[in-house]
Amino acid sequence: MNVMKRERPPAEIYDEKFVPALFGQWGPVVSNVAGVAPGQAVLDVACGTGALTLAAAAVAGPDGCVVGLDANPEMLAVARRKSADIDWRAGVAENLPFDDASFDAVISQFGLMFFDDRPRALSEMMRVLKPGGRLAVAVCGALERSPGYAAFATLLDRLFGEEVGNAFRAPFVLGDADDLGRTAAAAGIEGASVEERNGTVRFQTIAELVATERACVWTLGGILDQDQFDLLLRESEEALRPFADNDGIVSFDMPALILMAHKMG
- pLDDT for the residue 220: 84
**Measuring CA to CA, how many Å separate 262 from each of 64, 89, 108, 139, 190?**
20, 24, 15, 18, 9
Instruction: Flag the least confident range among 8-22, 44-58, 154-168, 239-253.
Output: 8-22
Query: Which residue intervals of 161-197 are DSSP H helices?
Result: 162-169, 177-186
- Residue pair 260/194 in contact (Cβ under 8 Å)? The answer is yes
**% the chain with pLDDT above 90:** 86
Average pLDDT, the chain: 94
Contact assessment for residue 133 and residue 105, using Cβ atoms and an 8 Å cutoff: yes
Q: What is the pLDDT of residue 137?
A: 98
Residue 247 has pLDDT above 90, yes or no: yes
**Cβ(19)–Cβ(55) under 8 Å?**
no
If you average pLDDT over residues 177-190, what whole number do you get? 97
Chain-centre distance for alpha carbon 188: 24
Q: Give the pLDDT of residue 4.
A: 39
Mean pLDDT calculated for residue range 32-52: 97
The rounded distance, in Å, linking the Cα atoms of 41 and 103 is 5
pLDDT at 3 over 50: no
Report percent pLDDT > 70 for the chain: 97
For 178-205, b/e burial (b = at least 16 CB within 10 A) is eebbebbeebebeebebeeeebebbbee
Read off the pLDDT band of 7 (50, 70, 90): low
Q: State how far the alpha carbon of 162 is from the alpha carbons of 158, 166, 167, 237, 238, in Å.
A: 8, 6, 8, 20, 20
pLDDT digits (tens, 9 = 90+) for 189-245: 999 999 999 999 999 999 999 988 887 767 887 888 889 999 999 999 999 999 999
**Which three-class secondary structure state does DSSP give residue 223?**
coil
- At 1 the pLDDT is 39
Range in 20-24, 82-86, 222-226, 256-260 with the lowest mean pLDDT: 222-226
Q: What structural domains does the chain harbor?
A: 10-262 (3.40.50.150)
- Quick check: helix, strand or coil at residue 237? helix
| Per-residue pLDDT at 149 exceeds 60 | yes
pLDDT tens per residue, range 94-131: 999 999 999 999 999 999 999 999 999 999 999 999 99
| Closest listed residue to residue 95, CA positions, set 73, 72, 123 | 123
Average pLDDT (41-55) is 97
Average pLDDT value for residue range 23-33: 96
